[in-house]
Structure 1
Amino acid sequence: MTAPHLTTVEDAEAAWLKALLAPTTEPLRELLHPQFVAVHSPVGLIHDKEQFLTDTARRPTAEDVRILTAVIHRFPDMATVSCLQEMRIPFVPGTPAFVFQQAVTRVWIRAGDGWQLAQLQLARRLPPA
């Protein structure tokens, strides 16, 4: 499945951030390339599409995601987005959300008339004091 409505990398990035806030992983699934690979978590998991979606479904949904800084490199049928990302995740209802910062690289590839995410690399970082 491709996402033809994502005509620019900026459209794909906006859809990705929105999907991270969705109550299910279905919006994420629509954005992932069939050969998607994620390298993530503090222990460095390497997951394919289904493993990543299963792992993500087990975690609490973020209540907010912010991009602190981003660098986009464009190529004919591919783009890389490197950024610092901040997520607020409410692990316990009624308490303040825990803040995670991550150094992130996303590799988007052209799929038909749209874009799909082929590679995701997440590395946690400690917020500056």
Structure 2
Amino acid sequence: MFCAAIAHGQSLAATRAVPVGASVVARPQRLPIHKLIPWFIIGFVVFALLRSLGLLPQALLAPLAFVTTIFTVLSMAALGLGVDLRVLSRVGGRATLVVTLSLLLLLGVSIALIRGLGVV
């Protein structure tokens, strides 16, 4: 989540940067709020607030959990389908090794947290 906040901040800074060759006095255009913040972030915040304040009925929580699972599966599939294997094959062995090791580290930390917190 922290990395997403940093990336979002950097993208905002990039939209406000003065293009090469432009006058330094030129004022950057203001972007409307709906272009600065993705719709799913707004939805996430709204539902987190509703849930935290106890405004969602108990009967709605199970169906929402199911919908959340479906959306998570769809988003993971979209990420996987967006991978171009030709580009991936040109990256090289070193980059592939680093990515593989980072994924194994992430897996190890996840399993340790699950067992340590007694989730499963």
TM-score exceeds 0.5: no
Greater helix share, 1 or 2?
2
> With CA pairs under 8 Å and 6+ residues apart, which has the higher RCO, 1 or 2?
1
Q: Structure 1-normalised TM-score?
A: 0.20
User: Larger % of strand: which?
Assistant: 1
* Larger CA Rg, structure 1 vs 2: 2
